[in-house]
Amino acid sequence: MKPDRPLIEQLRTEADAGLASLQPGPRSIHAHVTRPIVLQLVKAEAHTVLDLGCGNGWFTSALDRCGFDVTGVDHNEGGVRMAEQHFPNLRFHQLDVMRPLWPSLARRFDAVVTVELIDHIPLPRKLIEAALTALKPGGLLVITSNFHGYSKNLALALTGRFDSRWAPLLEDGRLKFFSRSTLTSLLSEFDLRDLHFETVGRIPMFARTMLIAAKTPG
Give the per-residue pLDDT at 152.
60
- How far from the centroid of its chain's Cα atoms is residue 3's Cα? 17
Residue 213: pLDDT band by 50, 70, 90 thresholds?
Answer: very high
pLDDT in tens, 201-211: 766 665 678 89
Residue 98: pLDDT band by 50, 70, 90 thresholds?
Answer: confident
Inform me whether the pLDDT recorded for 159 exceeds 70. Answer: no
The whole-angstrom separation of Cα 218 and Cα 215 is: 8
The DSSP letter of residue 47 is -
Domain edges within the chain: 5-215
Whether 210 contacts 144, CB under 8 Å? yes
Give the per-residue pLDDT at 103.
93
pLDDT in tens, 52-67: 999 889 899 989 988 9
**Range in 96-105, 115-124, 204-213 with the lowest mean pLDDT:** 204-213
- Homologous superfamily in CATH for domain 5-215: Vaccinia Virus protein VP39 (3.40.50.150)
Type of residue numbered 194: D
Strands 135-146 and 69-74: what pairing? Answer: unpaired
Closest Cα partner for 56 from 19, 31, 89, 99? 19
Residue 38: pLDDT band by 50, 70, 90 thresholds?
Answer: very high
Inform me whether the pLDDT recorded for 128 exceeds 50. Answer: yes
Give the per-residue pLDDT at 27.
47
Inform me whether the pLDDT recorded for 24 exceeds 90. Answer: no
The more confident residue out of 118 and 161 is: 118
- The alpha carbon torsion through 144, 145, 151, 156 (nearest 10 deg) reads 140
